[in-house]
Amino acid sequence: MPASPDSPVQQQQPSGRTSRQASPRPVTTLSEGSRGISAENIHDAVCSGKSAMVTVVDEWLDSYKQSREAGLLVLINFVVRSCGCKGVVSREMLDNMQNAEIIGKLTKEFNEDSVNYPLCTPGPQLKRFKAGLCEFVRVLVRLCQNSLIYDEYLFPSLVALLTGLSDSQVRAFRHTSTLIAMKVMTGLVEVAVLVSVQLQTSQRQHDMENSKGAHERAPGRLEDLQATISELQENRGELSCMMNTTFRGVFVHRYRDQLADIRATCIEELGMWLQKDPEDFLNDGYLKYLGWTLHDKQSPVRLRCVRALQGLYQEKEFIGRLEFFTSRFKERMLSMVLDKDPEVAVEVVNLLLLLQQTEDGLKEEECGHIYPLVYASNRALASAAGVFLFKKLKTVLASEQQSAKSGNAAFFQILISFFIQSEFHEHGAYLVDSLWAAARSELRDWDTMTALLLQESGLVYEEEGVLIELMMCAVRQAAQATPPVGRTQGRKNVTGKDKKVQEQDRRRITSHFIPLLPPLLAKYSADAGKVSLLLKAPLYFSLEMYSSAAGLDKHLDLLLSQVWGIIEKHTDVEVLEACATLVSTLCADRYTFSSRTNLAFSQLMDGLTECLSAYLGDLVQGTADDDDVYSAAAALKRIAALSCAMDPTGWKLFDSCLELLKSRMESREFDKELMVSALRCAAFYLMWAKVNAVNSTPAEVLIHTAFILLWMLRNSLTLGPSFTHLLGCSPPAHNNATTANPRRPCRGQEEVKRLKKDMRSFCRVCETCLCLNQNEIRDQAFELLCDLLLLYSASSARVEPELGALVHLPSDSLRSEMSAFLLDYVFSDCEDAELDVEGEEAMKITLLQKRRNQLAGYCKLVLFGVLDLTAATNVFKHYNKYFKDFGDIIKETVSKSKVIDPVRSAKTVCLCLQQMFSEMLTEERSRQDVGEIRDLAKRLAMSFGIDLKRARKPLVALHVEGVRFAFREPPEGDEQRSNVAFLEILSEFSFKLLQQDRVHLAAVLKSECPDAALSWPSVRLYQRSLEGRSSAKAKVTGERGDAPTAKRKRSTPQVGGSWLDGSSVHSSLPPPALASTAQRQPACRATESEPGSEDEFSLGSSMRRVKPCRHPSLSSSHTVPTVDTEDINSPLNLLSLIADDDDEEEDPDFKDYESDSDNDSAYTLPSTRHTSASALDELFA
């Protein structure tokens, strides 16, 4: 039996000084003609993984039995070879040198070709070699368990060598020998357990034989049993000695090794010893190592430790022995549910589930650590927490013994209570997804859920809302079989069986809810929140069953009647959008009942139009009272919502809405609900009119609609969510043959002219709205402008050339107003400051999302050629200051502009910096602002990437423009060149230049710079940035495409005077090739020659400056923007390896270790808003 690790050890100590024990047995030698297996043969067999390991070990055992010294030498050389060492241990070394001397000589002869060795070689070879090596050791111990393991030569010598190698400074020696030693230890434990069983059996037989009378005993039986017991006890003692030596010599030192793989191996094998031999190992002396390792800094080690504990807690007979360990380390295990490695956190939750099922279990406050994880963004962790929650809920139900209700009804009651108390009401989809694996049958019990909702008494108001939300989330989960937004399930191939189950669930949902949905809508029609959720149910139906299944068509009329009534009853945006989504789905042409639904909602539109017409005259004349204004606004809101799903052009509402908007602005009566709805109605009319501008067959109209609107949706976040329903159904797959079909001629020129005139009129109205001091009206006008200008741009004409006459470009005044809006209301902190009140965090998030949408809409106008590329300077200026809020959008805009035209993009970047520098001089701000502009230049310089050859031409153009700006002739009366300090900013781009370009730019600088200015500090600083590094090094860098990282010394020379030429750069940029989803052309390559010359970007006066201002009234005046760029120069931190742990003497008591996994990475709850980083693909697809 091995001694406890806390007891004194009398055996040999684990170090290189350990010598092999001499054996009293005579030495045998091989005959000259016989040759056994070699170390190379064993190594090749282990590496291949295809050889029968029993055969390999048998061959080696045959050679060992002929000469144990020669056999041991082969085994030693195999171990050395497995370490990756090419050295060989000779017979002379084995006979005359100690282990420490042999290891020292091997260390000198190691001669590593690379840092890799067999146990760390990347690829499948590692897995194959490691498995083969472990199998070899296992088979070796098993075949030697009855004889050679007790010869006092083979295994003591092997363990002594492995102990010495495990203490080596060479990582390959230490890693490989530790793995082999731990596997040998595991094999010895298995043999020891077997010997213990045999010993107990023999002892029991001896006692039974001894209890018999003298005449009943078999002759010599008692003596034979006593001899067997003595032999087994001796064998058990030898095994305990070897195990104790291995544990003390290898494990105690290597479980805290610097290399995480070594620590993980030790802990994994310790877990196996505890399970296989609990009588000897399952005590606090060994368990403490698992407790300490829970604090390990590397996640693989923590993972092995947690899995080892899972194996222990699964055995009920071990629980009593684990009581002290549980009480000591339970707090640590609870904190590890927030481990930075999701895999570790998942295993910890599974471990706590096992702990919960014990007699003592977990307290309710301890379970509170796990409950919130059902809302975690990691799906595996959330599912594990869902299993824990489900088991807990079932336990509570069993303890309460609720017999009055059915099992599932009681389950839903307690689940609703949990959801309400958890206070994450916006995340019902995540709770359902977490519970789906464990409570799938309960969550698909539609009968119980609908029965609870339809019964008159049972649930209170809040509980009804929660149950409806959970029910609809379960319906979506069953019908779509996809996780909610923010949770990914990895690469899981959907099998035919999964699709079949999904289709069966969808049909079950349809057949159950079709007759019950109208009563549910009728009961909750007055509650906006509940009815908006219930209206989503038909989206997951197999709607063809309305016409294919007998007796279900009557329920369609009931559903249409309920939706009609809901639209007439509500003006809430959420409800109207849900109704519009349902209308667009039911009106899809692929359903045979679509004509009935179109007729029903057309009649509804007729009624709403008549209602609006009744109040329109009084509204235009200004004689309408408050009730009339409210009724008209409600009708307009409903019409606008239905316009997302139906073509409203037949009702001719555009002129009425435009007249209404003009009259309200003239009278200065800004009713927000009325004007916002009128703007939306007019905008949807123009969108549908553009779609219908070409006379086509119905199928072609649908395809054309799909292409145009999908193009807008993929490239814009400013569209309202309801606009997606303009498609009416899922668009068919794009077919080139379809687009090649001949189209009929365009409609009459008068109609085209009228549509273009309407577009101009609407843009003028929106331009006026941008000046209003009404947030909702102003924001809606800006978003609709971004959508319409994109739809009526020249890029859309590429999809349909006949629509070229409908191309509408914004006027100069509209461009200016949109630019002013961007500076006033997007890049502004005023509204944030107004909301700087505790409890208004949700409002801040909503406001930020709105501003992000507005910025994205403006950026797309630039990228798709609606606005000139130079308009992006107003965006680039704020890259640093608003990096946290808009950094991803601005970065993507810079990147896409380089795809469109690399040289013009680089010049735009330079122009942005020039404008900021000129504004600084004009406003006579402090010299500290030069540093802020330089910080912005550093960030923009990184956007050129690491392919310096590709960025070569744009960078040279940027530098040339910057040098010319720096030495531009000063205005009359100003003797000093105030722009020279711009060279300091320009120097931030120099580290991206190749050597040949540095020489060229040095010549440009010399030609532009007066001789007297060559000694000025700014000029000298720029010259040093061009010199940078040696020519050879620069050439190597350019060939490899690596970005130089040399530091540059800052200089801040004094610049006197202030002067500004209020001009900007004007050029006409071609629109990008990626302008539509109908015909995607390959993007322009940066290596191709760009059209245009540098003269197009020379400073001129063709584009007026835009000055931001708050618009208190109808005004278009501007002021110079104040750029207060925030310093966000956060340095990059280098990663460091784990520090070497000093070899400390182990403490017999339990210790606490701090870990970076405690609080560093709490799992954040996913958001139901589509604000993830992946939205950039939708912004600029």
Token digits for 256?
A: 């805290």
User: For residue 1178, is pLDDT > 60?
Assistant: no
Mean pLDDT of the chain: 78
Mean pLDDT of 165-178: 92
405 neighbors 413 (Cβ within 8 angstroms): yes
Kindly report, residue by residue over 204-261, the tens digit of the pLDDT. 888 887 787 777 777 778 888 889 999 999 999 999 999 999 999 999 999 999 999 9
Distance CA 91, CA 180 (A): 23
User: For residue 1083, is pLDDT > 50?
Assistant: no
Kindly report, residue by residue over 725-741, the tens digit of the pLDDT. 332 333 333 333 333 33
* pLDDT of amino acid 123: 77
Token digits for 147?
A: 């004889």
Burial class (CB in 10 A: 0-12, 13-18, 19+), 203: middle
Mean pLDDT of 1097-1111: 36
User: For residue 27, is pLDDT > 50?
Assistant: no
**Regarding predicted confidence, which is higher, 490 or 366?**
366
Kindly report, residue by residue over 913-957, the tens digit of the pLDDT. 999 998 888 776 556 678 889 999 999 999 998 888 888 999 999
DSSP 93-124: HHHHS-HHHHHHHHHHT---SSS--GGG--SH
**Regarding predicted confidence, which is higher, 1152 or 412?**
412
* pLDDT of amino acid 111: 64
87 neighbors 173 (Cβ within 8 angstroms): no
**Of the segments 667-671, 897-901, 1100-1104, which one has the largest average pLDDT value?**
897-901
* pLDDT of amino acid 117: 86
**Regarding predicted confidence, which is higher, 452 or 21?**
452
User: For residue 413, is pLDDT > 50?
Assistant: yes
Kindly report, residue by residue over 694-723, the tens digit of the pLDDT. 544 344 444 444 444 443 444 433 333 333
Mean pLDDT of 63-91: 91
- Phi, psi for 1096 (deg, rounded to 5): -65, -20
pTM for the model stands at 0.75
Kindly report, residue by residue over 847-864, the tens digit of the pLDDT. 999 999 999 999 999 999
Kindly report, residue by residue over 1045-1065, the tens digit of the pLDDT. 333 333 333 333 332 233 333
Distance CA 238, CA 227 (A): 17
Nearest to 467 by CA among 516, 411, 505, 512: 411
Nearest to 198 by CA among 224, 235, 167: 235
* pLDDT of amino acid 731: 32
Helix (H) or strand (E) run with residue 637 in it: helix 626-643
Kindly report, residue by residue over 467-506, the tens digit of the pLDDT. 999 999 999 999 988 899 888 766 667 788 888 888 999 9
Tokens 């019908």 sit on residue: 479
Token digits for 143?
A: 């075949």
User: For residue 1103, is pLDDT > 80?
Assistant: no
Half-sphere exposure of 77 (CA within 13 A, CB side): 22
Residue 933 CA: distances (Å) to CA of 750, 920, 1104: 53, 10, 23
Helices (H) and strands (E) in the chain, counts: 50, 0
Residue 622: CB atoms within 10 Å? 11
Spell out the residues 6+ positions from residue 215 whose beta carbon is closer than 8 angstroms to its own: none
Burial class (CB in 10 A: 0-12, 13-18, 19+), 345: buried
DSSP letter assigned to residue 1029: S
1175 neighbors 717 (Cβ within 8 angstroms): yes
Confidence of residue 1165 (pLDDT cuts 50, 70, 90): very low
User: For residue 1037, is pLDDT > 70?
Assistant: no
Confidence of residue 122 (pLDDT cuts 50, 70, 90): confident
Give the angle 385-458-412 at the CA atoms, nearest 5°. 15
DSSP 277-299: -HHHH-SHHHHHHHHHHTT-SSH
Kindly report, residue by residue over 274-319, the tens digit of the pLDDT. 999 999 999 999 999 999 999 999 999 999 999 999 999 999 899 9
* pLDDT of amino acid 924: 66
Distance of CA 772 to the CA centre of its chain: 40
**Regarding predicted confidence, which is higher, 215 or 587?**
587
User: For residue 201, is pLDDT > 70?
Assistant: yes
569: amino acid identity, one letter:
K
DSSP letter assigned to residue 593: T
498: amino acid identity, one letter:
D
Mean pLDDT of 1094-1104: 34
Kindly report, residue by residue over 776-803, the tens digit of the pLDDT. 999 999 999 999 999 898 887 776 676 7
Half-sphere exposure of 1088 (CA within 13 A, CB side): 11
Name the β-bridge partners of 694: 746
